[in-house]
Amino acid sequence: MDPEPDHRSEAADPNILQSLPAEHRFALVVEASPTALVLAGPAGLIEMVNRQAERMFGYDRAELVNQPLESLMPARFRHGHVLLRHHFAADMSSRLMGEGRDLFGLRKDGTEFPLEIGLNPIDFEGETMVLAGIIDITARRRSEFEKEQQRRELERSNADLEEFAYVASHDLKAPLRAISHLVEWISEDIEVTASTETIDNLKLLRGRVVRLQSLLDGLLAYARIGKARVSYEQVDLNQVVRDIVAVLSPPAGFEVDCDGTLPLLRTHRTPILVVLQNLIANGIKHHDHNEGRITIAMKLVNGVAEFRVSDDGPGIEPRFHERIFVIFQTLSSRDELESSGIGLAIVKKRVEAHGGHIWVESAPPARGTTIVFTWKEPTA
């Protein structure tokens, strides 16, 4: 018997490859395929397999030739596959096998693995055969399982956070209000006789209560992002900014203006109002002078808005550009500046919920900070 040709040496030399008969070149392609290929005759018996099929199922090809296709699947599927094979023979066409069902292969060592099979009819010398392309999808299934586990864990965490926010907002606010009232009453009772130090301590206590109330409100707002169902509308951002300024009532030395006339934006009005209000309030709160200016600019290109909220404050060091968006993080001492550390975390979550990104542009000692964020209009 003549020795089997060395396909590897032939494939390495393109000149030799071109000189080979078409059948031989085709055999080289079949052998090199990363997909397991199994050719079966009309009776469902295996007539040919490639090297990848040998690796996948753990058999030598000599062990598979003339064996029924069903030998490559678990016993519980074999009877049903015979019926499916007959149906395929009655209506030959290229298709995926078992769409919508989980398919499994059986290795020689008895282990099972999930697979995907594509069926293609081939006319060979007047006889119709079926070429099955088989892919081991174990890694894909593992990845899908891990993603599903992560999704469920995220849902559970979100539910826990929402439950906590509900408890915090309802069960803790009442005691806090009572403490706040007590501080006010004590302050009134001892106002005449109290020392300056006592008065300062009461002010500090009152500030702590206000901070905790703000923290609870922020947690509730953060947990509820994305929960409410609201409709889209054409939002006049110029009016939104005017409404924000009216609510915030900036100190006399501060100006809050739009850079020209901002275009209309089709979106949810409340989320964009919350984002802009937080950013404007943040610019005022963290300014180091009694006078300042905050400017809001926006351009809309192909359904994506880019907002720029700029101030002329002290700026933010680059090493803090990511930190400021982390929940409970503040750059100033909380005794220097009352802040819950939630405002910019809410802003980031709102922006990302509307398909956008947010970042900081600031480079001290140059003054000024610009918070830039994108915001997508709905596609439908």
pLDDT digits (tens, 9 = 90+) for 169-225: 667 777 888 888 888 899 888 988 889 899 888 888 887 787 677 666 666 665 565
72-103, pLDDT tens digit by residue? Answer: 989 888 877 766 676 666 666 666 665 557 88
* Confidence class for position 247, pLDDT limits 50, 70, 90: confident
In a domain, 84, yes or no: yes
Asked if the structure places residue 201 within a domain, the reply is: yes
Asked whether residue 141 is domain-assigned, the answer is no
Neighbours of 105 (CB within 10 A): 20
The answer to whether residue 25 sits within a structural domain is: no
Supply the CATH number for residue 96's domain.
Answer: 3.30.450.20
Q: Are residues 122 and 59 in the same domain?
A: yes
pTM over 0.75: no
* Sole residue written with tokens 């052998």: 31
* Residue entry with tokens 């016993």: 75
Same domain, 132 and 159: no
Same domain as 186, residue 290: no
Q: Specify the CATH number for the domain of residue 244.
A: 3.30.565.10
pLDDT tens-digit profile of 109-130? 999 999 988 888 887 777 888 8
Q: Determine the Cα–Cα distance for residues 227 and 224; give it in Å rounded to an integer.
A: 5
Alpha-carbon distance of 24 to 125, in angstroms, equals 17
Domain holding 187, by residue range, is 151-224
* Count of domains for the chain: 3
Q: Answer whether the bond into residue 365 is a cis peptide, omega within 30°.
A: yes
370 and 301 co-located in one domain: yes
My answer on whether 283 and 341 are in the same domain is yes
Are 283 and 313 in contact by the 8 Å Cβ rule? The answer is yes
Is the same domain home to 274 and 325? yes
Residue 24 lies in a domain: no
Structure token pair of residue 39: 């050719």
